[in-house]
Amino acid sequence: MALLLVPCSFSLPIRSLQFTRTHATSSKRIRRSPQPIGRRRSQLRLAATGSQLGDGDGEEEEEEERRGRQRGRGRGGDNYVTLTACAVGLFTGLAVVLFNYAVHEIRDLTWDGIPLRGASWLREEPIQNIWQRVVFVPAFGGVVVGILNSLRSYLKKDSKEDTLPGGVLKAIAASVTLGTGNSLGPEGPSVEIGSTIAKGFGNLFQWSGGKRLSLIAAGSAAGISSGFNAAVAGCFFAVESVLWPSSAADSSSSLPNATPIVILSSVIASVISEIGLGSDPAFVVPQYDFRSPTELPLYLLLGILCGLVSVALTSCTSLSVEAVERLHQKTGLSKAVFPALGGLCVGIMALKYPEVLYWGFENVDILLESRPFTAPLSAPVLFQLVGVKIVATSLCRASGLVGGYYAPSIFIGGATGMAYGRFLGILFGGPGAMIHLPLLEVASPQAYGLVGMAATLAGVCQVPLTSVLLLFELTQDYRIVLPLLGTVGISSWISSSWQKRSIDYTTKAKYTPMPGNGNAKQSNTGSNNTAQVRARKSDEDEEELCTLESSLCVYDEEAEFSDVALSLNVSEAMKRRYESVVSMETPIVQVLNVMMEEKQPFVVITSNDNFLLGMLTLNDILEFIAATRQSRETSKLMVRDICISGDGSRCRARPYVTPDMRLVEAQNMMNSHRVDYIPVVSSHKELSLVGYIDRESISTALRASAAKELLSTSLTGRVPKT
């Protein structure tokens, strides 16, 4: 066994563990990354003149007051944030009201009153009388959205985020998307409107850190509250989507301090929405009943079904995004063309299934049979609608149309629950039931439809508490809580578990299989480019999707750090010292000894040429021991035994980053893939390992950079941009 020690870029203490220093040979099993030597410690020298530091009591007080205003820490700072959050709720409520008016006006203009009669009316009309409008109105909306997206891209090319004109254009694009009937929803844009307004106030007062984060949470809560006229659900959405993720990323984030301003913002936005749009709920809650506690197992089965439906929607969206990206690369078509193609596909599907069109929540009322003179849909038709709506929503999302996933998730969940309820009625309900169980009384399909809405929403957007509170707030019926909690919990668990497995599968496709001794470079030359495109597009898709509505990405890193910190690259935070394994026959005892000595909870698996193959973590070893109850002598347990055991998911390499990537992108990748460290590979030599990055190094680099900027500000008197 040999330890490889080579010069690198900075100095660290050298310890040999139980290995000796030798030249690299093909027989070595564990080696260290190149070790830095011979660099002098840098000394920090601060030189400042009296004028720079502020001579005189008056200048010192003025400087301190200015910095206090900039940081939001002066007297009354918390009160300013609270008042600003109220303003965020007020302006968000007004903006969402205007947004909804725009959607309704465009809808009335393009559909000429058809939505008021519902999609079922289209089923009764001869197709030759309606096909032109049904097909070409969504396509026309796609044409307009494509133009608006191009303008937004032009405005955004020199900026990290949307400017105010870009944000307005995006809201207009969402209005056109929804007004012309394309299969997305308005709640995502509503959340983004609230977040954008909150960021604007944060920039105006030059707040950063916790105060800026609290404002974004308040804006997100206001968006949901005004969109659904549900203030409680809006508060919980902000907690799930903003405050909890930020607390996980930074333990210094204060959830209790942000809660009051979130509540105030949500309530104010809900009041404004009620004044502008009326007090009616988003959709009419039908008459329903709960017959017996013995029904609870049936609701748990519904949770499984909704979880699978949620997985189908997210998977179909990923496949659609990948297909559109490949089509764009192969044909060279402008991305401005794809929204029109997406709208055209939706229109064609609507000829057979008009319910897939977005006409507010009127189609949800049709599903739940809460509209008068509505013909009920059979279970087979409802199941067909689930599949068609999944495809239509995925195509809209992939093509670049602008909207959210809340409304489609509610529709899909309602159709799933109604179909399931009708199927149960055939099996167990009524005098003509196929199976008679004396203790089992089956509720109406509407009860299962309502619960299915919340379960699918929780599975798709990963907001279980928001889903439960939203439905409870709409129904105002405590009896629904028990089956609702069980169904939502199971659906959310299935969806999150599938996402984790999907991440592992995608990662496996990008790297060389573990048991082989072949060269990683050889196995990746043919497919690695495609894998990288897929991985990067998947990450971008997930980030964009979650930016609208999911709990993963509404949290904004810019709320924690200044622009100068966001400009850092991975190379400025990566750790260049790491432990690697180059032989699958390495004893696990030796691996554990290295982990204990170096305080590193993993070793990197590489080829002889230092190409990344995978990672073996301490958790992998512990899970293997617990699962197999290993009876052989521990000295005979090898790396190979763990890596090829079970389903082969152990030892797979994490998604990798390169030194020239932005640091915030690496952190977003960690959050989306739920890992604490990621390998860093060379930008010039494919999959050549150069180090790794973890949450500790990211946090240290970001905070050190922010501190450096504040120090520079105190010396020069400049006001840092935030």
Structure confidence by residue, pLDDT tens digits, 549-590? 333 334 344 444 444 445 688 888 888 887 777 677 788 888
14-44 pLDDT, tens per residue? 333 333 333 333 334 455 554 443 333 333 3
In this prediction, residue 33 carries a pLDDT of 53
Residues of the chain with CATH 1.10.3080.10: 77-277, 293-508
pLDDT given for residue 463 in this prediction: 86
Query: What pLDDT is attached to residue 395?
Result: 94
Quickly state the pLDDT bin for 633 (edges 50, 70, 90): low
Tell me what pLDDT residue 415 has.
94
Question: How much is the pLDDT for 311?
Answer: 93
Res. 287 pLDDT band, cuts 50 70 90? confident
Q: What is the pLDDT of residue 53?
A: 33
Please name the helix (run of DSSP H) or strand (run of DSSP E) that holds residue 358, with its range, or none: none
Average pLDDT, the chain: 73
Of 4-13, 249-258, 525-534, highest mean pLDDT: 249-258
pLDDT reading at 537 higher than 70: no
- Choose between 39 and 603: higher pLDDT: 603
Tokens of 239: 């907690």
DSSP one-letter code for 239:
I
**CA angle, 560 as apex, 539 and 219 as ends, to 5°?**
80
Q: What is the pLDDT of residue 600?
A: 78
Q: What is the pLDDT of residue 502?
A: 59
Q: What is the mean pLDDT of residues 583-607?
A: 79
| 443-465 confidence digits (pLDDT tens) | 888 889 999 999 999 999 888 88
CATH number among 3.90.25.10, 3.10.20.30, 3.40.640.10, 1.10.3080.10, domain 293-508? 1.10.3080.10
Q: Percent of the chain having pLDDT more than 70?
A: 68
Q: Which position has the higher pLDDT, 64 or 601?
A: 601
CATH of 513-716, picked from 3.10.580.10, 3.10.20.340, 3.40.50.720, 3.40.50.1860, is 3.10.580.10
pLDDT at 27: 37
Q: At residue 110, does pLDDT exceed 90?
A: no
* Contact of 238 with 194, CB cutoff 8 Å: no
Distance CA(392)–CA(411), nearest Å, equals 12
Model confidence over 335-366: pLDDT tens digits?
889 999 999 999 999 988 988 999 878 888 88
In the predicted structure, residue 229 carries a pLDDT above the cut 90: no
- DSSP structure class, residue 184: -
Q: Where in the chain is the domain with CATH 3.10.580.10?
A: 513-716
Angle between helices 663-673 and 528-548 (to 10 degrees): 80
Give the integer Cα–Cα distance in Å for 547 and 551: 8
402 touches 184 (CB < 8 A): yes
Residue listed under structure tokens 């100095």 = 11
Beta-bridge partner residues of 185? 404
For the ranges 80-84, 110-114, 155-159, 669-673, the one whose mean pLDDT is highest = 80-84
Rounded to whole angstroms, the Cα distance separating 509 from 530 reads 10
| pLDDT of amino acid 652 | 67
**Token digits for 618?**
């301490």
pLDDT of res. 487:
94
- Whether the per-residue pLDDT at 194 is higher than 50: the answer is yes
Reference 458, options 237, 247, 627; nearest CA is 237
Mean pLDDT, residues 385-398: 94
Overall average pLDDT of the 216-244 stretch: 83
Least confident window among 282-286, 397-401, 585-589, 594-598:
282-286
Indicate the CATH number of 77-277 among 1.20.1050.10, 1.10.3080.10, 2.60.120.260, 1.10.1500.10: 1.10.3080.10
Cα 561 to the chain's mean position, in Å? 20
Whether the predicted pLDDT of 47 surpasses 60: no
Q: Check whether 508 has a pLDDT greater than 60.
A: no
Give the residue from 226, 625, 170, 569 showing the smallest Cα distance to 403.
Answer: 170
> 């006409």: which residue's tokens?
359
Better-predicted residue by pLDDT, 391 or 564: 391
CB distance 183 to 353 below 8 Å: no
**CA 347 – CA 252 distance, rounded (Å):** 49
Residue 106 CA to residue 175 CA, distance in Å, equals: 8
For residue 433, what pLDDT is reported?
63
Q: Among candidates 466, 467, 455, 448, which has minimal Cα distance to 286?
A: 448
In degrees and rounded to multiples of 5, residue 18 shows phi and psi of: -110, 15
Q: What is the pLDDT of residue 117?
A: 61
pLDDT (mean) for 326-333: 87
Angle of helix 528-548 relative to helix 296-331, nearest 10 degrees?
Answer: 120
Q: Is 654 helix (H, G, I), strand (E, B) or coil?
A: coil
